[in-house]
Chains A and B, each alone.
Chain A
Amino acid sequence: MNLVADFLNSGIRLTVPILFAAIASLLSARAGVLNLAIESKVLAGAFVGILVAAGTGNTLLGVLAAAASGALIGALLALAQRLGVDLVVLAIGLNILVLQLTVYLMRSYLGGVGTYSPDLETIPPLTIPGISDLPFLGALLSRLNWSVYLAFFAAILVGIYFRTRSGRHLLAVGEAPIAAASAGLSVGRTQTLTLLAAGALAGIGGAYLSVGDLGLFTRNMSADRGWIGITAALLALNKPAFIVPAAAVFGFASAASIRLQAFDVPASVTQFIPQGAAFVALVLVGLRAKSRGSFLRLWSQSSRIPLGRLREPGPPRPEPGAAPPPESSRVEEPSSSRSPRG
């Protein structure tokens, strides 16, 4: 009996798919795209991952295929972004489409009704010699396979990446696309590659669910982890340094809502924990004017549905004369505003 270690272990495992989704959301947001299709990428990854893993008998191939399927949805978003399609509307459509498509394929070709449970060895847990036998650490690190470590490694990698030249370029593209374009950076290519990478990560998050541990697929098994990932990224202010703790808030909230019931905490209380965490996170983000501003900016870059009037976050006061540009008379000089969408 090692209650604390078991709880932490459970929390870590519930955090992993959320973390993958959160990193995907963070990357997209920092590149200037509001990516609300993460839920569909997680689900597609879970589905394709187990299909390929079962077909080839190789879990690694399954995870790679899951990454590819997520990246494919990312490519769809990137294409839509270039064509000027409303990404918010498209993402909502994609989320529904992938859900129903997986159900349809499962019924039509896999013979399963709500569940597809192939004969499959899931990814084996990593056993670290020496540590697995320790009482606390052993329990804490049991049942964790390499994809768990990959999630945390990816979070660190993103933090490092943002300090490289090409990472800087991604940040510039997301924050000031026109400035980036005028410095010779390709906004479209950067956003496309980022959406592909984000899709791949979310897809791996889905594979973690199906191939990684459970060895089965069920209808809608992503169970809103894509959305929770987006929330976690918001809570982390889209900063890599905060992304692990933010995702962990939700993973551990979920673990707590399960484990606390063993201590006679009524279910009516425990069931509030995950939702409560999400609520508090969003309120915190919403209370912070700057986060609100950057979310509105992100939204307006990705959708034409007005969410509210955007106030340009200016430099701190006193703000020297920020006169807007003179309006050029539109009849004589056609608008030359260069849209980063091209």
Chain B
Amino acid sequence: MTPTSGETPRLELRGLRKYFAASGVLAVADVSLEVGAGEVVALIGENGTGKSTLMNLLFGVHSPDAGTILVDGTEVQIRSQQDALRVGLGMVHQHFELVPSFTVAQNVLLGREPRRLGFYDDAAAERRVAELAAETGFTVDPRQVVRDLPIGTQQRVEILKSLAADARLLILDEPTAVLTPSEADDLVLRVRALAASGRSVVFISHKLPEVQAVADRIVVMRRGRVVGEFARGEASDAELARLMVGRDVLLTADRAEQAPGAPILELAGVSVPPGADGSTGLDDVTFSLHAGEIVGLAGVSGNGQDELVEAIAALRTPASGTIRLDDVELTRRTPAGARAAGLAHIAGDRMHVGLNRLATLEENAVSTSFTSRAFARAGVIRRRARRAFAQRLIDDYEVRGAAPGRPVGSLSGGNLQKVVIGRELHGSPRVVLANQPTRGLDVGSIEFVHKALSAARAAGSGVLLVSTELEEIMALSDRVAVMFDGTLLGPFPRSELDRERLGRLMTGGAAATPFPLADPASGGLR
């Protein structure tokens, strides 16, 4: 088990335990773990398996009920992120902790700024950050303002922050979730380089390919326990997935070849002007969706996907162009009218748009159809029918922890999404709009969503799947389109695309830039 036998591990956890009395959950159950100097350890597991709690114990957010933390062989007490940093543990969160209006240098050296004559010494700070960036390979321009930087670069700033504080062990929490494929590849290289320079890295992720690429060792957690530990190359993706979920998981969707039917959704020249808040508009989008096919819509988020989905769902009126579902012109419909025409919408924001968290499950289940004859008679709700429908939804979709009369707010993300999908796919819709349907879900729930979308396709629905996860797009789609800066590229048959080509399309065509440069016109006043 000990990777570098004989040497003191950089970080050692001995029997860490955390029990949350309020919820009665044993979140971390006697976890022991070692990370050696210069080692990259990947920590994988579904959401809610205790990874975050474990990290929170390391950073003083919670204190352990039992167990000890040793850094370089010395037991340490950590009560805050500052304590952690003092002993050399640096954390890069999923949401970056940066000050948007500060420069890179000011952010990296926040709290430890160089001073001259009592004033903040920008020049010295920039010099130091530039040196650090050159040394570690996380190249950034120290003078740029963080707000103007792409997410991938912001992440580098965040990593540099820890490095500037002399962190000898970095914890990266789902670091690739926000990156484009090429940025993710680059990050893997940089992490390896960090390890080569003697720093240790804990890499939290659920994307198995990158985990396999980056880690010296892979630790799998389930239900608060370490359930497996493998050296690089020891375990296959399938094995790891089975350990994480506790059963076999289909990593590629099971899809029968199927000839697409007639076009059912046709967009012609749809344009939406860019919003004042900096949102991308749509520029002359034309494509059609056929019955019985899934069209994947890839792209870095914020390139117009939400606007496109909203336009089709009649939540947003395009400035020009037509959107026809069969023979119905959707641009002149209300959202309810679009639904009546056979549109189902799995909203990207299930917490606020897809569901009403304060309402009960049965109210949510019929919220798009409560005026239909099935649930209402002469304007009066048929409670029994509604309850029966909700119960069937719970049973069919295995919504755990749910009851028809209880508010849905207490359900986990995966179960919330099951409620949405159960509602939307009921009654064989003609067109299914699925906007980021697996965002934030764990492996088991993702599998469920994929199955549900494939089933809709098999039943003859046309599915538009918007996702930032390339694996998902590639696994499910018959054809793939890419959104970039409000323009739709494609759709292309899936067979014509590979990861690299998709990555290039997502970043603005054939350009060699690894990620798009900020458009100066949209920078606005500062």
**Which residues 376-410 in B have Cβ within 8 Å of A in the complex?**
401, 410
- Binary contact track A289-330/B, C-beta < 8 Å → 1, others 0: 110010000000000000001010111111111111111111
Q: In the complex, are the beta carbons of A321 and B180 less than 8 A apart?
A: yes
Q: In the complex, are the beta carbons of B151 and A336 less than 8 A apart?
A: no
A177 to chain B, nearest CB (A): 9
Q: Cα distance A175–B81 when bound, in Å?
A: 19
**One of A68-76, A162-170, A243-251 at the interface:** A162-170
B174 at the interface (CB under 8 A from A): yes
Q: Which residues from chain B contact A327 at a C-beta distance below 8 Å?
A: 47, 351, 412-413, 440
**A174, closest chain B residue (CB):** B99
A226 to chain B, nearest CB (A): 27
Q: Which residues from chain B contact A165 at a C-beta distance below 8 Å?
A: 113, 115, 118-120
Q: Cα distance A16–B81 when bound, in Å?
A: 44
B510 at the interface (CB under 8 A from A): no
A108 at the interface (CB under 8 A from B): no
Cross-interface CB contact of B300 among A289, A319, A334, cutoff 8 Å: A319
**One of B21-29, B190-198, B259-267, B283-291 at the interface:** B21-29
- Binary contact track B496-515/A, C-beta < 8 Å → 1, others 0: 00000000000010000001
Q: In the complex, are the beta carbons of B276 and A289 less than 8 A apart?
A: yes
Cross-interface CB contact of A321 among B20, B50, B300, B508, cutoff 8 Å: B300
Cross-interface CB contact of A338 among B61, B107, B525, cutoff 8 Å: B61
Q: In the complex, are the beta carbons of B412 and A330 less than 8 A apart?
A: yes
Q: In the complex, are the beta carbons of A319 and B525 less than 8 A apart?
A: no
Total cross-chain contacts (CB, 8 A) = 199
Q: In the complex, are the beta carbons of A322 and B151 less than 8 A apart?
A: yes
Q: Which residues from chain B contact A184 at a C-beta distance below 8 Å?
A: 81-82, 85, 111
Q: In the complex, are the beta carbons of B484 and A179 less than 8 A apart?
A: no
Q: In the complex, are the beta carbons of B99 and A332 less than 8 A apart?
A: no
A185 at the interface (CB under 8 A from B): yes
Q: In the complex, are the beta carbons of A180 and B180 less than 8 A apart?
A: no
Cross-interface CB contact of A329 among B147, B174, B413, B516, cutoff 8 Å: B413
Q: In the complex, are the beta carbons of A163 and B99 less than 8 A apart?
A: no
Q: In the complex, are the beta carbons of A315 and B150 less than 8 A apart?
A: yes
Q: Which residues from chain A contact B315 at a C-beta distance below 8 Å?
A: none
**B85, closest chain A residue (CB):** A184
Q: In the complex, are the beta carbons of A322 and B98 less than 8 A apart?
A: no
Q: Cα distance A323–B437 when bound, in Å?
A: 12
Binding site of B, secondary structure by majority: helix, strand, loop or mixed?
Answer: loop
Q: Which residues from chain B contact A262 at a C-beta distance below 8 Å?
A: none
A83 at the interface (CB under 8 A from B): no
Q: In the complex, are the beta carbons of B99 and A171 less than 8 A apart?
A: yes
Q: In the complex, are the beta carbons of B95 and A175 less than 8 A apart?
A: no
B351 to chain A, nearest CB (A): 8
Q: Cα distance A242–B388 when bound, in Å?
A: 63
A176 at the interface (CB under 8 A from B): yes
B103 to chain A, nearest CB (A): 11
Q: Cα distance A76–B252 when bound, in Å?
A: 59
**B84, closest chain A residue (CB):** A182
B523 at the interface (CB under 8 A from A): yes
Given the contacts A165-B120, A320-B151, A322-B301, A331 and B100 also touching, CB distance less than 8 Å: no
B441 at the interface (CB under 8 A from A): yes
Q: Which residues from chain A contact B508 at a C-beta distance below 8 Å?
A: 318
Q: In the complex, are the beta carbons of B179 and A321 less than 8 A apart?
A: yes
Q: Which residues from chain B contact A171 at a C-beta distance below 8 Å?
A: 99, 101-102
Residue among A169, A171, A325, A326 facing the most chain B CB atoms (10 A cut-off): A326
A172 at the interface (CB under 8 A from B): yes
Q: Which residues from chain B contact A182 at a C-beta distance below 8 Å?
A: 81, 91, 97
Cross-interface CB contact of B120 among A164, A289, A316, cutoff 8 Å: A164
A183 at the interface (CB under 8 A from B): yes
Q: In the complex, are the beta carbons of A326 and B301 less than 8 A apart?
A: no
**Which residues 47-96 in B have Cβ within 8 Å of A in the complex?**
47-50, 52-53, 56, 61-62, 81-82, 85, 91, 94-96
Given the contacts A328-B47, A333-B53, A319 and B519 also touching, CB distance less than 8 Å: no
Please list the residues of chain B having a beta carbon within 8 angstroms of any beta carbon in chain A.
20, 22-23, 25, 27, 47-50, 52-53, 56, 61-62, 81-82, 85, 91, 94-102, 106-107, 110-113, 115, 118-120, 147-152, 154, 161, 174, 177-180, 183, 274, 276-280, 300-303, 351-352, 401, 410, 412-414, 436, 439-442, 468, 484-485, 508, 515-516, 518-519, 522-525
Offer 16 A-B interface pairs, CB within 8 angstroms, sorted by A: A168-B110, A176-B97, A178-B97, A290-B525, A317-B274, A317-B485, A317-B522, A321-B151, A322-B301, A323-B436, A323-B440, A325-B177, A325-B440, A332-B50, A333-B48, A336-B52
- 17 further A-B contacts with Cβ under 8 Å, apart from A167-B120, A168-B113, A175-B102, are A171-B102, A172-B102, A179-B107, A182-B91, A290-B525, A315-B149, A315-B154, A316-B519, A317-B279, A317-B485, A318-B519, A320-B183, A321-B151, A326-B440, A329-B47, A329-B413, A332-B23
Please list the residues of chain A having a beta carbon within 8 angstroms of any beta carbon in chain B.
163-165, 167-169, 171-172, 175-176, 178-185, 288-290, 293, 309, 311, 313-334, 336, 338
3 nearest A-B residue pairs (beta carbon): A319-B302, A329-B412, A326-B440
